[in-house]
Copies of this chain bind each other. A is one copy, B any other.
Amino acid sequence: MESREGYSGRILEKLNGIGAHVGDIIRVQRGAEVLEGTLIPKSHATDDEYLILKLKSGYNVGIKDGSEVSIQLLSHGVKPAFKKPPIPSRSGELPKVSVISTGGTIASRVDYRTGGVEPALDAEDLYSVFPELADIANIKTSVLFNVFSENITPQHWKRMAHAVADAVRDGAHGVVICHGTDTMGYTAAALSFILQNLPIPVLLVGSQRSSDRPSSDAASNMVGAVSTAIQAPFAEVVVVMHETISDEALSVHRGTKVRKCHTSSRDAFKSVNSSPIARFHVMEKRFELLNDDVRKRDGAAALTLEDTLDENVALLKFYPGMSPDILESLIDRGVHGVILEGTGLGHVSSSFYRPVERAAKEGLFVGMTSQCLWGRVNMHVYSTGRDLLRLGVTPLEDMLPETALIKLMWVLGRTRNLPEVRSMMTKNIAYEISGRRWQWEEEGRGRLQ
Flag the segment in A70-78, A277-285, A384-392 that touches B.
Answer: A384-392
CB nearest neighbor in B for A64:
B449
Flag the segment in A130-138, A150-158, A229-237, A300-308 that touches B.
Answer: A150-158
Bound CA–CA A405/B223 (angstroms): 41
Flag the segment in A7-15, A52-60, A288-296, A428-436 that touches B.
Answer: A52-60
Any B CB within 8 A of the CB of A374: yes
Contacts A63-B448, A347-B148 given; does A320 touch B153 at CB 8 Å: yes
Bound CA–CA A214/B129 (angstroms): 58
Bound CA–CA A187/B148 (angstroms): 36
Bound CA–CA A46/B268 (angstroms): 41
CB nearest neighbor in B for A332:
B329
- For A326, list chain B residues within 8 Å (CB): 314, 326, 330
Any B CB within 8 A of the CB of A82: no
- For A261, list chain B residues within 8 Å (CB): 372-374
Q: Is the CB of B151 within 8 A of A350?
A: yes
Interface string of A415-449 (1 = CB under 8 A from B): 00000000000000000000000111001011111
- For A30, list chain B residues within 8 Å (CB): 448
Q: Is the CB of B321 within 8 A of A311?
A: yes
Contacts A262-B375, A264-B345, A384-B150 given; does A445 touch B47 at CB 8 Å: no
Bound CA–CA A396/B367 (angstroms): 30
Any B CB within 8 A of the CB of A244: no
Q: Is the CB of B448 within 8 A of A45?
A: no
Contacts A43-B383, A149-B343, A386-B43 given; does A263 touch B186 at CB 8 Å: no
CB nearest neighbor in B for A341:
B317
Contact-size category for A = 35 or more
Q: Is the CB of B374 within 8 A of A263?
A: yes
Any B CB within 8 A of the CB of A344: yes
Any B CB within 8 A of the CB of A409: yes
Residue of A47, A265, A380 contacting most chain B CB atoms (<10 Å): A380
Rounded to whole Å, the gap between the CB of A360 and the closest CB of chain B is 13
Q: Is the CB of A445 within 8 A of B55?
A: yes
Any B CB within 8 A of the CB of A195: no
CB nearest neighbor in B for A56:
B445
Q: Is the CB of B154 within 8 A of A344?
A: no
- For A376, list chain B residues within 8 Å (CB): 263-264
Any B CB within 8 A of the CB of A247: no
Bound CA–CA A139/B121 (angstroms): 71
Bound CA–CA A383/B43 (angstroms): 7
Give the residue of B262, B264, B344 whose beta carbon is less than 8 angstroms from that of A181: B344
Any B CB within 8 A of the CB of A260: yes
Rounded to whole Å, the gap between the CB of A274 and the closest CB of chain B is 14
CB nearest neighbor in B for A381:
B60
Any B CB within 8 A of the CB of A172: no
Bound CA–CA A376/B386 (angstroms): 38
Q: Mark out the residues of chain A between 113 and 170 whose CB falls within 8 Å of any chain B CB in the assembled complex.
A: 148-154
Q: Is the CB of B62 within 8 A of A380?
A: yes
Rounded to whole Å, the gap between the CB of A383 and the closest CB of chain B is 5
Q: Is the CB of A35 within 8 A of B402?
A: no
Rounded to whole Å, the gap between the CB of A212 and the closest CB of chain B is 14
Q: Is the CB of B215 within 8 A of A443?
A: yes
Bound CA–CA A351/B373 (angstroms): 27
Q: Which 3 A-B pairs have the closest CB atoms?
A: A263-B375, A182-B343, A182-B344
Interface residues of A (CB under 8 A from B): 30, 33-35, 43, 45-47, 50, 55, 57, 59-63, 148-154, 180-183, 186-187, 215, 260-265, 268, 311, 314-315, 317-323, 325-326, 329-330, 333, 341-351, 370-378, 380-384, 386-387, 389-390, 402, 405, 409, 438-440, 443, 445-449
In the complex, besides A148-B382, A186-B320, A260-B371, 14 extra interface pairs with C-beta distance below 8 angstroms are: A33-B446, A43-B383, A45-B383, A45-B387, A46-B387, A59-B440, A62-B380, A149-B344, A150-B318, A151-B350, A181-B344, A263-B372, A263-B375, A314-B323
